Copies of this chain bind each other. A is one copy, B any other.
Amino acid sequence: MTELAAVKAALKSQAVETPSWAYGNSGTRFKVFAQPGVPRDPWEKLADAAKVHEFTGVAPTVALHIPWDKVDDYAALAKYAEERGVKLGAINSNTFQDDAYKLGSICHADPAVRRKALDHLLECVDIMDATGSRDLKLWFADGTNYPGQDDLRERQDRLAEGLSEVYRRLGENQRMLLEYKFFEPAFYSTDVPDWGTAYAHCLKLGEKAQVVVDTGHHAPGTNIEFIVATLLREGKLGGFDFNSRFYADDDLMVGAADPFQLFRIMYEVIRGGGFTPSVAFMLDQCHNIEAKIPAIIRSVMNVQEATAKALLVDREALDAAQRSGDVLEANAVIMDAYNTDVRPLLGSLREEMGLDPDPMAAYRRSGWAEKIVAERVGGQQAGWGA
């Protein structure tokens, strides 16, 4: 296989999971702007997600969020998805929207609240059994707003205990992906604020516990690709929640704020052996003001472009430059790949896959946007609250 063929083969094998909630409404604490045509239930979300896969060819699974995507019959939901060409992906828990969780969930001082949260997490594993999902993605909004509000260390003890109970419940082929976040919604301390904390917990839990890197969940200036390289080296990178940010957890389209960073991340993924199904590549974004389906198509394409560039890095030349201490040449090798316009390559790849080379245009022409606006009238649009 030629090198270019290998690059194309890798790109064809790529799978980016889109999140059901990104098809619904979202916003900031100031305002959620509703958009016409937004899904009103999990079925409609899956129908939209199927469109993203139809036009990109690399978005074959859809992550669910419980309880937002709760249905009576998950087998029917899975079948509905498969009929449209996609599968159900990771199950995302929610321990932040019940009134009981004002001061935390599995880190709460009150054992009754912890129990409630744990029962929800265990229910999520039940749902995984029903959907055939491999991954339980855990993000905890737990934390405190004021110094002294709660005992930082005891909260870690409670966290460890809770995670341990969920871990024991996991089936043989199931995993727990623990997400960390620098801040928000907690404003003084967050109970899993950084990769180190997530790593330390996962290490004790065992092999099925892996860290998930949300690219918007770091302190300003953090070198995220270093974390990726380190977690891969430790065998503890379970996946990504992709999005981009200029300031905080902005949840913009991945690659929109710093495409060079996304490329560097994808380079470390590939270099570290992480471009395999054991690392889940998921989007986790909010399309507050832009049209949702095309924004997700664009995001998937952005991941593809970054991946293509990362695959094009001349590893031999890079290695030679690095070993000889030629700083400028080593950097030039990386930049040469980054500066390549990979859009023609991806266009031809799509044609080989039987797709339109321009997914955005193809989606626009498909009439889906107009159709859902016309048909999805009445009812309650999906959003973070439902």
Instruction: Please give the residue numbers on chain A whose beta carbons come within 8 Å of chain B beta carbons, in ascending order.
Output: 26-31, 33-34, 96-97, 99, 101-103, 109-110, 141, 145-153, 156-157, 182-185, 187-190, 193-197, 199-200, 203, 218-223, 225-227, 229-230, 232-234, 245-248, 250, 252-253, 256-260, 264, 268, 271-272, 288-291, 294-295, 298, 305, 318-319, 321-323, 325, 327-328, 330-335, 338-341, 343, 360, 384
Contact = CB atoms under 8 A, between A and B. Distances in A.
Residue of A33, A101, A151 contacting most chain B CB atoms (<10 Å): A151
Given A234-B200, A268-B152, A289-B102, A331 B223 contact: no
A260 B318 CA distance: 23
B156 A233 contact: yes
A175 to B, nearest CB: 20
A318 to B, nearest CB: 6
Given A153-B232, A193-B226, A246-B183, A30 B330 contact: no
Contacts of A185: 27-31, 288
A152 B341 CA distance: 26
Given A30-B97, A185-B31, A223-B246, A230 B197 contact: yes
A29 B248 CA distance: 13
Contacts of A97: 30-31
A227 B330 CA distance: 33
Given A28-B185, A33-B99, A322-B109, A246 B221 contact: yes
A385 B268 CA distance: 36
A273 to B, nearest CB: 10
Contacts of A226: 152, 189-190, 193
B289 A184 contact: no
A188 B151 CA distance: 32
14 contacts: A28-B29, A29-B185, A103-B289, A145-B250, A151-B322, A187-B245, A187-B252, A188-B246, A188-B252, A196-B197, A196-B199, A219-B221, A260-B260, A341-B341
A109 B325 contact: yes
The 3 lowest CB-CB distance pairs between A and B, nearest first, are: A196-B196, A148-B334, A219-B219
B260 A259 contact: yes
A270 to B, nearest CB: 12
A145 B243 CA distance: 13
Given A31-B101, A260-B260, 20 more contacts: A30-B97, A31-B97, A31-B185, A103-B289, A146-B256, A146-B328, A147-B256, A148-B334, A150-B330, A152-B225, A153-B229, A153-B268, A184-B247, A187-B246, A196-B197, A196-B199, A223-B246, A258-B258, A259-B260, A298-B328
